[in-house]
Amino acid sequence: MQLVLDTCALLAFAAGTRMGSAAVERIDAARSVGMALVPAIVALEIGQKWAAGKLRLEGRATARQWYERAIDRHRFTEVFVTADMALAAYEVPEPFHKDPADRLIVAMARLLDAPVVTVDRRILAYGRQGHVEVLAY
């Protein structure tokens, strides 16, 4: 069983933020087989927010240090963006909002037939339309 974590989910899980037991069980099951996937675009979003001063990370870590530690410590699998994923980001059923990172995360989940772990209201709404499976935490 694989799943795709969005930026908020990675930040929340790594920070130990309380998540619903169903979400934690599915994340743990996916981690145990190397299938808790984090799209590389998540690193871009974390770096961008950190550089803008909108994200404080534990222990005075840089965005790079925090991200690399989070992936390693929590046994997540980073997934690099392929051309197929990049093109699929703009082939998702419309209407969907314009944020390229969210489009890529959703497209990756659709291509992999995997749920997106998120609390992002726009992705959750898109899931309710039946365009992507979502796992709210």
Digit-coded pLDDT (tens) for 71-104: 999 999 999 999 999 999 999 999 999 999 999 9
- Domain spans in the chain, listed from the N-terminal domain onward: 3-136
The pLDDT tens digits for 25-52 are 999 999 999 999 999 999 999 999 999 9
Closest CA relative to residue 133, chosen from 73, 118, 13, 60: 118
The domain 3-136 having CATH identifier 3.40.50.1010: the answer here is yes
Write down the pTM of the prediction: 0.95
